[in-house]
Amino acid sequence: MIRTKILAAAAALLLVSGPSLAETLTVGANVGNVPWEFQDEKSDIVGFEVDLANEVGKRLGYEAVKFENIPFNGLFSAVQSGRIDVAVSSITITDERLNSVSFAQPYYDSDQSLAARTDSDVKSSADLKGKSVGVDTGSTGDIYATERSDAWGLSGISRYEGLAPAMLDLAAGRIDGYVSDIPAVAYYLKDKPEMTVIERLKTGEQYSMMFAKDSELAAKVNEVIGTLKQEGFIAGLHEKWFGTKPEDTTSTVEVRDMPKPKS
């Protein structure tokens, strides 16, 4: 009986003391999403959000941060079911998503983009009549293109699990354009002159880490991200992965409130 009480007391202490050094922070990511999370020449998972998640895990006292490769559309159910603790993959905060998941404060401001081959007659979204575009399944680019399918006069929308396969089809002429987050596309195309971003599609998006609805971890990570902004750590990641300093007015630098759903 005494031994049982001692074990119960120890378990209770662990619950109130937060993560122990034996715990692992499990992060879901759609690996292949450059420069946010992708495999380098050594097959190691690297990227802006990989560096950020590793630092967050360290600051919260986790002994290890483990990344699970999950298709973008599967990240939502993965956090909701508890399969993973947090999801990253340049995930945009939206009012609709806030009804079913939680986000920490944003750390990157973005827009969508339309990419095409440089030898194509598609020079802007005005040239898409009768053409097909590719998108990442379930992404804000998917939503954006689907909502404008009739207005653009699209012949079809092809959906992909990540940027790389979509770009392969764009290069091969199997699709005429690709709608996705502008930083990832611009980074991917910097050494591929046969393709280019032909139009910035202004959406005013902001990226952050995603958690199960009302997760206690979300609030803890939100606080850490605020500290990392004040220390200049996240601005340093921007310089490392994009080669430029972020503007002082962006969410990469400014400490912001944790987003909440509209009541």
Fold equal for 2-109+206-242 and 111-204: yes
CB 259, CB 98: distance < 8 Å: yes
pLDDT, position 10:
45
CB 176, CB 26: distance < 8 Å: no
CB 155, CB 210: distance < 8 Å: no
CB 52, CB 234: distance < 8 Å: yes
Model-wide pTM > 0.95: no
pLDDT, position 19:
52
pLDDT, position 116:
98
Q: What is the CATH class of 111-204?
A: alpha beta
pLDDT confidence band for 244 (50 / 70 / 90)? confident
Domain limits, the chain: 2-109+206-242, 111-204
CA distance 216 to 200: 36
Which overall architecture, per CATH, does domain 2-109+206-242 show? 3-Layer(aba) Sandwich (3.40)
Q: For the segment 115-169, what is each residue's pLDDT rounded down to a tens digit? A: 999 999 999 999 999 999 999 999 999 999 999 999 999 999 999 998 999 999 9
- Residues 6+ away with beta carbon under 8 Å from 45: 29, 31, 37, 38, 39, 67, 69
* Average pLDDT rounded to a whole number, residues 42-70: 97
pLDDT, averaged across the chain: 92
DSSP per-residue codes, 133-179: EEEETTSHHHHHHHHTHHHHT-SEEEEESSHHHHHHHHHHTSSSEEE
CB 189, CB 197: distance < 8 Å: yes
